[in-house]
Amino acid sequence: MMRPGAESARSVLVLDSDVETPSLGLSDVRELPILALDFSPRSTGDPDHWERRLGVRPTELVVVTSETRDPDAVGADTVEQVTAPSDLTGLGMLATKHLGRWDDSADGPTPLVVLDSLTILFQYADLQAIFRFLHALTTRLANSNAHGVFFLDPMTQSGKTVHTLASLFDAIAERTDNGEWDVRVR
């Protein structure tokens, strides 16, 4: 469970190799539009998958991936494709497009951006490029009515890299030795 004040965090970096997510602090919201920037081979656009993983059900599910996926086959409302996970400019443009569309409908619920996973992006881009991309995206989240959850397996990166990325996020979530979530709001 997130500590008091964590609900104001617009962006959360989840440091874990597991697929479970700590409580997002989105109060009573059970349904949200979700923009899934999804490069994980184990992921799916299935709304039930996202509800189990995030604790919220997508009212609209937009999946951005580098693979060709049929929206009906993955349970998504829309599937957008970038040329490769390294196409951070294209990824940012598609995220901005959908966040802008949801911003225009101010009476709707807060959208949630999920990037699964930063670990995979590091196979295609270097720290500097990923840092610039995340800086732009987290700034966009802070300036709109949106939240973001970003996954990184900390065992795949150096402590310096994790620390550098962590500076971009409002909160950092990681498991303690007893398996509970520790969420630090910055």
Could you list the pLDDT tens digit for every one of the 186 residues in the chain?
334 345 568 899 999 876 555 555 554 556 789 999 988 765 555 667 777 777 777 888 898 988 877 666 667 788 898 999 999 999 999 999 999 888 877 666 789 999 988 998 999 999 999 999 999 999 999 888 889 999 999 999 999 999 999 999 999 988 888 878 788 887
Q: How many domains are contained in the chain?
A: 1
Q: Is residue 66 part of a domain?
A: no
- Specify if 13 maps to a domain: yes
| pTM metric for this prediction | 0.86
In DSSP terms, 181 is beta-bridged to 175
**Six token digits for residue 132:** 């610039």
On whether residue 149 sits in a domain, the answer given is yes
CATH number at residue 152: 3.40.50.300
How many other C-beta atoms lie within 10 A of the C-beta of residue 53? 18
Residue 154 lies in a domain: yes
Does 138 fall in a domain? Answer: yes
State the residue range of the domain holding 103.
4-32+83-183
